[in-house]
Structure formats: structure tokens, C-alpha cells
A and B are shown apart, each in its own frame.
Chain A
């Protein structure tokens, strides 16, 4: 890929140092999403990155449905899905034997698949292309060499090919990766369960007729005692992850004379392939105690790192950005108190813990830490060949699912009874709306502002109700109304001038346990803030102020 355009910073061209509202450090998937999301919310920022290229090699490759839905909101979802590889079939091997196959059979009625495989550099490229359509000031080849926090903001020292300059900003978003230089400069630590392992990661290009499946080997003959994962990505590039163990020498393992025989042993001596990229990946499970430190906030790997099993690194980091951007935008626009930002910790720290828990369980299965653990692991694998139940115990990584903000201070507890999986704090499940040429998707309609989803079912249209719904958009903090009705019931509403979508397959009603009159208040990050069986403006205003961090202040007043 050609170098991204470096430009001499205005601060180095005699322009008086300006103060910025937000500086985002790190143009990986997390920093790019954060900058794009802020731009969508009307907040311009400076994005700085020490490099001038997208990532080298595939790195993060598995992007889960929730991430694709966030990318849709940011305008990059379709490109990612078009380029990515969708797979549903998987195979699990023990030594030389195929133990079993599985089909993920994803639930239908969602715009996006359960996940796609896509090289990280493509995702970054698509996000950068979106960013070029925004006023975000992207500065490549710019390295943060110093950070100072003070009461009203942050001073950042930036080193460039043309010299060093200072930036002042209100907020600094550190999206600078697992080794986060900013974390180190501020003397902060990431702690936690120390689990260490190394993986040899290879991108291999081959035209071979390998099916589009995920193959996972425990203890294969071509790499005894370890695990191996084979995955297809875009452009006939296959990703192979060889577990090496902690004692392996990373420099030695990267040498072609060591890598090539491993791959040949795996693919067969006669399979032609070319090695695109090889790297040794080292990780440990860790997280910072808090992700917000004054006006410096940590997002993604800088805040928390997990093992690669379950694809929880980039996916959870992008969800950090999704959680944080709208809050910071509201605070900077004076529409919410600064204390709203505290909910970032309240929501994303438990999310990180859930990810660490899941990936640690996978790691413990793949790399047993004790003799007993290994015996049970082998027993589960052996049983899995002929007993369905044991396949549920085999853990080679659990699919990354979004975290439900169960005890979020921003959620309003249910007063009315609801059944089903949805609850305050849940990420919104998608549902198809309309049909034929008018087919739309719920999540696309939610957008990225507060949204009030009213389900009219088969109710007769009601001009009074419609006026009240439309009034939501005129509140001090506007709530965009979204009117849904049962299949075949839209025409009379439209006759009243309403914009309405039909719940054509009844999946919204099913997934949200919606009955005629049900109202959901949805946050800008498409999580449920509150819900009721009837529209009641007072309750809605109350929930809205809670969802924007204003509740505590009102109670004190």
C-alpha cells in the first residue's frame, strides 16, 4: 500500500498553537472508529499515528456482527462485508483425526452475518477512506513523545520528520495499543492475570481448493503438543496460527527456514503457496484498573488485552469507541455533564472482564495448565467424536458477543414486565422491516442519535399519539421517533403523514417482546436505555436524563 499522506503540522509552520477539543492517538481500528464516530457526532478531532501505513499483515481478522453493525453506523460496514469472507462451517481435529464438524447456522433476520474474516489492513483502509470525507485532521508519522495532564486538559508533545511541537487538547483518547506508550508516560499500569503464550502467525496465499471453513487442530502430527488454526481471509489469503508456547524464541521462529517446513507439513508437500507475512504474536491477559484518568481515556488494547481466542481484541476495542464517542460528544456540546464520561468505566470495565473471562477459559482449554486439566481436556475431545454434549465443552474460542451493560448507571430499570432476551443495557438486536424494494433494517433506522422506537402493532392510527411522538424530536435533547407497526398496517398511518415501518416478519415484536404501545428508548450506541408498555413523556424524560448522566444532579437539586 502507498504511504498515507504526511503533511507538516500547522504548528510547525508558524501558526500559533491551537487548542483542540480531542486528540486521538493511534490509527488502528479503534482510533479510526473513535475519530469517525466523533466526526459523525459533530466533534472534530486530531488523529495522530506514528506510522504512515495500514497494519502490516492480517493481525485482527475476525469481525463479529456487532462490530459490523457499528461499522454500518460509521459508513464502512458494506465495504467490509463485501470484501470479507463469511463462513459457517468448522472442523475440529485431534491429532490426525477429524473429531467433528459444525455449522454455526446463524439466526436469520439480521442484516449482518455472525462475523466475517477480513485482514485488519483492509478494515483500516476502509475506515481511512471514510475519514477522508470528514474534517478529521489526520497526522501520519507523528509520534507522541510526551503527555502532561492538567486540570483543564492535556498537553501532548508530538515528534515528526519536521520537528517537535506541542498540542493542547481538552481530551486525549489513547488508542495506542497493548504496549501503550501513553500509559507508560503517565506511569499507569495494566495488571491482571498473567497468562503468556506466543503464536506464530502466517498469512499464506494459495489457490488451493481448501473449503471456506475454520479448521482447528489440537495436538496435530505436523505441530505436536500445540494447537493450530486455519482460517480463510479475502484474496485467497489463509491465516495460520501456530501456538508456540511461552518458551519459544520469537526471532528464531520467524525465520523462513523454520516457518516454511511447518506450513508444508500442514498443507502437504505439493501444495503451492506463497508466504505473505509472518509474525510472532505474544500476549498476556491484562487490563487497567480504570480506563478514564482525568481527561485521558484509554480505548482498546491500551486499556485491556486478551488472548486471541474468540476474536475479542479488535471487536471489544471498537465497542469501546462506540461506547465512548457519543458520550464525549454530548459533554463537549454542553448537553451532558462531564460525569457522563464516568459511565465509560462503569460499562466497559465489566465488558473487558467478560472478554478476559471468556478468552481465559478458551486458553485454559487449549493450553491446559495442570495435569488434571489436560486429562479432562483430552477426555472431552475424545468424547466429542461420538457424543454431542462433549462438543459443547470443546473450547477453541467462543464467538465474541457484545456485552450487555447489566448494571449501568445510564439504564432505567424496567417498571413494566418484559419477557425475552432484551433488557435495559442490551445491544439492540436487528430485525427486518418492510419488504421487497422497501426492505430496511432496524439498526440502520436507529442511526446514532437517541431514538424512541414505538411499536403500534395493529393499533388504529392515532393523530394525537403521532403528534406526541413527533414532539420527541423537539425536546431539548432530541429523541428521534421511529414508528413501527404490524405487517399490513402501515397505510392508514401513512395517510396521517406518518413515517412508519412494518414489522414485516414479526421479528421486532418477537425479539423485543413488543406489544401495541411498547416504547423503547435507544441510546446513540444502539443499546437499550429504557422501555415501557406505554408512551409516557415524564418517564421518558426521566430515563433520558439518566441516560445522559444528569440524574444524579437533578436529584441533588
Chain B
């Protein structure tokens, strides 16, 4: 059974998206990359559940290799 929630759960998607982009403002590509990595680690720890994280990894990778 899938434990990863992929139906909409964000109260205000537009606000979150804006905040996400805003968090990167003024950063170099290298700094942005680090921010993303730190964010992933923080959120992964917050989620905690190994099964959910595995499913998220699979979902995030899906289709990438067939893209050009």
C-alpha cells in the first residue's frame, strides 16, 4: 500500500511555491543546490517514515531518464 500522499495537501499552493522560489533569490547556482539538498534532508527527517521516503524517491526519479 502506498503511503506517499500525492493528492493536494498544501493549504495555499501558490504561496508555498512563491516562498520556495523566494528562498533561492540572490543565491548562486551552487548555493541554490545546497539549499535544495538541505531542504530535502530537513523534510526527509520530518517525514521519518522509510517507506514514504522510498516511494518519494521513486516518484521523483520517474521518467527522468527518458527525458532529453
Inter-chain residue pair count (beta carbon < 8 A): 25
Partner of A375, one of B33, B42, B45: B33
Q: Does B34 contact A (CB under 8 A)?
A: yes
For A389, the chain B residues whose CB sits under 8 A away are 45
For B34, the chain A residues whose CB sits under 8 A away are 375, 378-379, 382
Chain B interface helix/strand/loop/mixed: helix
Q: Does A380 contact B (CB under 8 A)?
A: yes
Q: Does B38 contact A (CB under 8 A)?
A: yes
| Chain B nearest Cβ from A20, distance in angstroms | 52
B-contact 0/1 string along A365-376, CB 8 Å cutoff: 000000000011
Number of interface residues of A (CB under 8 A): 11
Q: Does B37 contact A (CB under 8 A)?
A: yes
Q: Does B20 contact A (CB under 8 A)?
A: no
For A379, the chain B residues whose CB sits under 8 A away are 34, 37-38, 40-41
Which residue on B lies nearest to A384, using beta carbons?
B41
Docked-complex contact A382 and B45, CB < 8 angstroms = no
Docked-complex contact B37 and A387, CB < 8 angstroms = no
Docked-complex contact B37 and A375, CB < 8 angstroms = yes
Which residue on B lies nearest to A376, using beta carbons?
B37
Interface size class of B (residues with CB under 8 A): under 10
For B33, the chain A residues whose CB sits under 8 A away are 375
For A185, the chain B residues whose CB sits under 8 A away are none
Q: Does A204 contact B (CB under 8 A)?
A: no
A265 vs B68: C-alpha distance in the bound complex, in angstroms? Answer: 48
Which residue on A lies nearest to B46, using beta carbons?
A389
Which residue on B lies nearest to A379, using beta carbons?
B37
For B42, the chain A residues whose CB sits under 8 A away are 383, 387
Q: Does A188 contact B (CB under 8 A)?
A: no
A387 vs B39: C-alpha distance in the bound complex, in angstroms? Answer: 12
Q: Does A98 contact B (CB under 8 A)?
A: no
A387 vs B37: C-alpha distance in the bound complex, in angstroms? Answer: 14
| Chain B nearest Cβ from A375, distance in angstroms | 5
| Chain A nearest Cβ from B27, distance in angstroms | 13
Q: Does A390 contact B (CB under 8 A)?
A: yes
| Chain A nearest Cβ from B32, distance in angstroms | 10
| Chain B nearest Cβ from A387, distance in angstroms | 7
Docked-complex contact B37 and A393, CB < 8 angstroms = no
| Chain A nearest Cβ from B31, distance in angstroms | 11
A380 vs B34: C-alpha distance in the bound complex, in angstroms? Answer: 10
| Chain B nearest Cβ from A106, distance in angstroms | 26
Which residue on B lies nearest to A378, using beta carbons?
B34
Between B33, B40, B41, the greatest number of chain A beta carbons within 10 A of the residue's beta carbon is seen for: B41
| Chain A nearest Cβ from B40, distance in angstroms | 8
For A383, the chain B residues whose CB sits under 8 A away are 38, 41-42
A-contact 0/1 string along B14-44, CB 8 Å cutoff: 0000000000000000000110011011100
A389 vs B47: C-alpha distance in the bound complex, in angstroms? Answer: 12
New A-B pairs, 11, CB < 8 Å, besides A380-B41, A387-B45 = A375-B37, A376-B37, A376-B41, A379-B34, A383-B38, A383-B41, A383-B42, A389-B45, A390-B41, A390-B45, A393-B41
The 8 A-B residue pairs whose C-beta atoms are closest, nearest first, are A379-B37, A389-B45, A379-B38, A375-B37, A376-B37, A375-B33, A379-B34, A383-B38
Interface residues of A (CB under 8 A from B): 375-376, 378-380, 382-383, 387, 389-390, 393
Interface residues of B (CB under 8 A from A): 33-34, 37-38, 40-42, 45
- The contact sample of 19 A-B pairs, CB cut-off 8 A, is A375-B33, A375-B37, A376-B37, A376-B40, A376-B41, A378-B34, A378-B37, A379-B34, A379-B38, A379-B40, A379-B41, A382-B38, A383-B38, A383-B41, A383-B42, A387-B42, A387-B45, A389-B45, A390-B45
